[in-house]
Structure 1
Amino acid sequence: MVQGTTSDAGKSTLVAGLCRYFAKQGVNVAPFKPQNMALNSAVTSDGGEIGRAQALQAIACGLAAHTDFNPILLKPSSDTRSQVIVQGKALSHMDGQTYFGKDSQGYRTKAMAAVLDSLSRLKAQYELVMVEGAGSPAEINLREGDIANMGFAEAVDCPVILIADIDKGGVFAHIVGTLMLLSPSEQARIKGVVINRFRGDISLLQSGLDWLENKIDKPVLGVLPYLNDLHLDAEDALMVAPIKTEQPKFKVLVLVWPRISNHTDFDPLRLHDDIEFTYQTVTAPFDGKQPQADLIILPGSKSVRQDLTTMLSNGWDRLINTHLRYGGKVIGICGGYQMLGLAIDDPTGVEGQVGESDGLGLLPLVTRLTPTKQLTQVVGELSLVGETVPIKGYEIHCGQTKCLTTQAAPISLRPDERRLGVHDGFLSTDNQILGTYLHGLFDQPQAAQLLLKWAGMKEVEAIDLDAQRMTQLDRLADMLAQHMDMNKLADILTEKTS
């Protein structure tokens, strides 16, 4: 198990790299995260939902994503409530008191049973299970009934590696302080530490490493260098800094809601050498200055009506309307697609408060939110500007959207391997607005090229995201092989922990 001294210490990346390293060594390895909290998720081969990081780690192992890789997923719908997804299926929304409460350790006692059930199946199928913790094991207010870090490790007798980020400073305090807040048995369970994101001359760090090993009586298994331009699917963090190019051929602007979901949809655009890519938050009032863009994208949302209210109350609909008036193109994906319509109705309080909200009124659509979530991996064809190309992706939404006209949809999905027949999305009569429920819209080069051509980009050369992802995972695995003591790691994997 890999645990971190803090959030964003590098747990997901280290697990992904180790999964790739062991898979390349011929080991039958699988990823596992008992409990994840994230708004970036993926649809699995068995029709469920897991955190995006575990889907990436599955790719590193050469496996299709499966719900057992992340049995508990919490998707925040507000600052105090989350949708609880157990073994791929959404059960309910809960507040923190219910989930983490002290009465019988809250809901986590039931969640632990699902965690152990999934782990049991994985241990029967794989030689090695690489486990990722969540946040920090030293959050003393969350220790009772813990299923994400040491509570899990103690329950299944699992050795732990602790990773800490040196780039932010205070790495020795993070490591020593974390150990001080653990019980003696938990301290003994940690078999070594890894220092992440180091820049500079390693010899200048050596005295600190010697002191640390003497202080904690545990080996430093590796000092990992800061990897520039390492592009892997993010678990949840959003890189909001604009990506500039010297002579951009195209400009893309993605609006950022407070509860934006699955922003990994835009990695192929964000990493494109010819695209100037910008994330624009909508939580502050629109000042009337028109950010330059050829294409504006409305992304997915975990709380569509609330995020729509935030956007409208701050005047960002003026940006969209002005952009369209000057001939710009707009794409809405999932929640963003719903926002483009006439109304969004939530009659049972799926996202919180019961009620109906007016949409942007740009497409003749109405949406009703339903408790049953649509979770589907799909393939099909995309037809735009007189061309048709293959497309694939996934749907993950609670809404049912009805088109009030007979306008043809741009995407024809294949519900099975025999026929096309389910249509998705809507293309406005003026050819300026496209909406779809399909995530992963830009992941396939042919589909990305056609979408960008429709949006007005000339001489499009799309990124093959799948190939780039594997290149980055191999690069990560090779770096770990060079900078970690794999012999000591092998000893840890075969050592009995208690």
Structure 2
Amino acid sequence: MKGIMIQGTSSDAGKSFITTVFCRLLAQEGWEVAPFKSQNMSNNSYVTTDGFEIGRAQGIQAEAANTQASIWMNPILLKPRSDQSSEVVLFGKPLRTLSGMSYRENFYEQGIEAIRLSLSKLEEEYEVVVMEGAGSPVEINLKDRELVNMKVAELADVPVILVADIERGGVFASIIGTLELLTPSERKRVRGIVVNKFRGDIHLFEDGVAWIEEKTGIPVLGVIPYINGHIVEGEDSLSLADRFSASKTAPIDLAVLKLPYISNYTDIEPFLYEKDVSIRWVEDASAFGKPDALIIPGTKSTIQDLRYLKTTGLARKVIDYYRDGGSIIGICGGYQMLCEQLIDEEGSDTGRRRTKEAGLCLIPAQTTFSIEKKTIRSKGSLHPKTGLEKVAQLEGYEIHLGHTVWKKGQAGSPFLMLDSGEAEGFYTENGRLIGTYMHHLFHNDEWRTLWLNRLRERKNLPLNETILINEEKYRKLDEAVEQIRPFLHWEKVKGILNEWGQEE
């Protein structure tokens, strides 16, 4: 197989970003290129056009590579449901929920076969594969049965580039320590090092580059400056904090509940491109404040996160905020929490059968969890009963267990009319309260602008024209690629890619 693998000295070293950049550069040069990550642990997922669920990063990397995302690009997705267990999604469909120990002891051989099959499929369809590792390749307690770093490089027989995050500090120790803990055969695969997230004058690191190359005998392929505003969405809490840390103070204060098991928080990312909107993550009652609008995002464990809201006092804050005239949108699990009652008869949400939990009681409806997960791309329009002005078709996706049913005779209307003919979601009080299962809702530019302009009107702020987020996102990605190009020895990278396996 012709390919290359990006591994890191730690989590959030920038592997996803570097992988995306490599996919983009190769695609620009005319290669048929595919991203690959054998095993992903993230509640930030992506629905393929044929209705399968993979890691969000691989979906974005496929888009950057000008190709269609598929299950072969991320055969194993682990979605944490508690501190001890994760849902295992195999080839885009839920398999079962396992504890960390059970996964390690019972899934390994099945995982290896899934990886082999995926690699063979990608080799048939693409000229080159850019692979991404996870965490560090030298987690000694996990290394003998790992499914995502050096074992994958060995199965695919590809060279490895090691990425280190200089912003964390200790970059020299992290590089040397990682290499020292690799076996001789593993270390032989490491053909280049990239130092990532450098702030300041890169010329000041020239002595550092010389030292690394002298001590390791491995070339430094680039010292990459810190890049803000690129489209590569992160996958864990470290990435979330970094992604939104630069959110500015602005006239519209948008609060988002930071749930312990938050999922698909990329629903919020379009607001980063709205200059008059600030995003404020709220995880305790004292920080709630008086936002212009509140978003309750998706979650992998709806009832657990609802209980968290209650124990922290946030539930009472949300209820009082709405009763005092606040605007709320609940997406997926956030929509479910707004209902009067949540019923988990089969234990599919909590792991405990016959569980019932009172919701926030703002939407007159009941949510019942089911065993089968709904995973589809969806399209539709605003429901006629909302009375809203017509906007272009809305597109998104649904990933959820269970369904929500209103009580008869209650006020409110459906939010969307899907192309399938199904009325979806809840809408009332001129949009002051909305619930929907549609992820990616705010990526629909006309809808986002309509919703924000209502908030602007309420504050006597000027109305804004529609920002085309997809155009903006890919413009920023290409800008990032061009920013990186002078600092990356790209010809050397391609040399490693092309020459691997020809030495003997």
Contact 1:232 1:469 in 2 (8 A): no
- 2:45 aligns with 41
CA distance in 2, matches of 1:342, 1:461: 37
1:129 counterpart = 2:140: no
- Residue by residue over 1:308-332, the C-alpha shift from the partner in whole angstroms, topping out at 9 and shown as x without a partner, is 0010122112222222222111111
- In the alignment, structure 2 segments of 5+ residues that lack a partner are none
Preserved CA contact (<8 Å) 1:166 1:197:
yes
| 2:290 aligns with one of 289, 292, 306 | 292
Q: Give CA deviations for 1:101-158 in whole Å, capped at 9, x if unaligned.
A: 3xxxx31210111111111111111111100001110101111122100011112211
* TM-score, reference length from structure 1: 0.93
Q: CA deviation at 1:305?
A: 0.3
Deviations 1:69-121 (A, max 9, x none): 111000000111000000100111000111113xxxx3121011111111111
**Secondary structure of the corresponding residue to residue 442 of structure 2:** coil
In structure 1, what is the equivalent of residue 416 of structure 2? Answer: 411
Preserved CA contact (<8 Å) 2:27 2:33: yes
Shift of 1:268: 1.2
Q: Partners in 1 of 2:466 and 2:262 — Cα distance?
A: 24
CA distance in 1, matches of 2:38, 2:280: 34
1:46-78 C-alpha deviation (Å, 9 max, x unpaired) = 211011111110110112321111110000001
Q: How far apart, in 1, do the equivalents of 2:201 and 2:248 lie?
A: 30
Query: Does the Cα contact within 8 Å between 1:242 and 1:279 map onto a contact in 2?
Result: no
* CA distance in structure 2 between the aligned counterparts of 1:454 and 1:65, rounded to whole angstroms: 35
**Which residue matches 1:374?**
374
Q: Partners of 2:427 and 2:68 in 1: how far apart?
A: 32
Q: Which residue, out of 63, 67, 71, partners 2:67?
A: 63
CA deviation map 1:430-477 (0-9, x unaligned): 752110000001102111122224556551334322112211221222
Give the distance between the partners of 2:467 and 2:178, measured in 1 at CA: 41
Match of 1:147 in 2: 147
Report the more deviating stretch, 79-88 or 450-459.
450-459
Q: Secondary structure at the match of 1:336?
A: helix
Q: Please identify, of 41-50 and 423-432, the stretch whose mean Cα deviation from structure 2 is larger.
A: 423-432
Aligned to 1:418: none
Of the three residues 44, 54, 73, the one matched with 2:77 is: 73
Q: How does 1:93-112 map to 2 (within 5 A)?
A: 93-101=97-105, 106-112=106-112
Equivalent of residue 486 in structure 1, options 481, 486, 490: 490
How far 1:232 sits from its partner (Å)? 3.3
Name the structure with the higher helix share. Answer: 2
CA shift at 1:481, angstroms? 2.6
Give the Cα separation in 2 of the matches to 1:462 and 1:300: 25
Compared with structure 1, are the counterparts of its residues 402 and 493 closer, same or farther at alpha carbon in structure 2 (3 Å cutoff)? Answer: same
Q: 1:242 to 1:318 in 2, by over 3 A?
A: farther
The equivalent of 2:397 in structure 1 is: 394
Rate the CA distance shift 1:290–1:222 in 2: closer, same or farther, 3 A.
closer
1:29 corresponds to which residue? 33
Q: How far apart, CA to CA, are the structure 1 residues paired with 2:62 and 2:132?
A: 13
Q: TM-score, normalised by structure 2?
A: 0.92
- Whether the aligned pair in 1 keeps the contact of 2:262 and 2:299 (CA below 8 Å) is yes
- Name the SS of the counterpart of 1:50 in structure 2: strand
* 1:206 corresponding residue in structure 2: 206
Percent of aligned positions that are identical: 41
Any idea what the Cα deviations from partners look like across 1:150-198, whole Å, max 9, x if unmatched? Answer: 0111122111110001111111111111010011000001111111011
User: What is the CA distance between 1:496 and its match in structure 2?
Assistant: 3.0
Query: Which residue is 2:333 aligned to?
Result: 335
CA distance in 2, matches of 1:436, 1:193: 45
Please show how residues 360-371 of structure 1 align to structure 2 within 5 Å.
360-371=360-371
**Mean Cα displacement is larger for which, 46-55 or 75-84?**
46-55
Amino acid at match of 1:66: S
Contact 2:339 2:364 in 1 (8 A): yes
More displaced stretch, 478-487 vs 344-353: 478-487
The 5 Å alignment of 1:309-458 reads 309-351=307-349, 352-354=351-353, 355-383=355-383, 384-389=386-391, 390-405=393-408, 407-415=412-420, 421-428=421-428, 431-455=431-455, 457=457
Could you tell me how far apart the structure 2 residues matched to 1:303 and 1:346 are?
11
Distance 1:462 1:353 in 2: 46
Question: How many residues are aligned here?
Answer: 483
Deviation track 1:363-387 (CA, whole Å, cap 9, x = no partner) reads: 1111111121111111111244431
Cα-to-partner distance string for 1:414-437 (whole Å, 9 max, x where unaligned) = 13xxxxx11110113575211000
User: Does residue 194 of structure 1 match 2:179?
Assistant: no
Q: Is it true that 1:277 corresponds to 2:275 in the alignment?
A: no
Q: Deviations over 1:373-411 (max 9, x none)?
A: 111111111244431212110000012111223643121
Contact 2:78 2:86 in 1 (8 A): yes
Residue deviations 1:271-293 (CA, integer Å, cap 9, x gap): 311112211014xxx24x75121
SS in 2 for 1:141: coil
* Two-structure CA RMSD over aligned residues (Å): 1.7
| Aligned counterpart, 1:159 | 159
1:396 partner amino acid: I
Letter in 2 for 1:273: K
Asked whether the equivalents of residues 242 and 277 of structure 1 are also in contact (C-alpha less than 8 Å), the reply is: no
Greater displacement, 163-172 / 289-298: 289-298
User: Contact 2:20 / 2:232 at 8 angstroms: preserved in 1?
Assistant: no
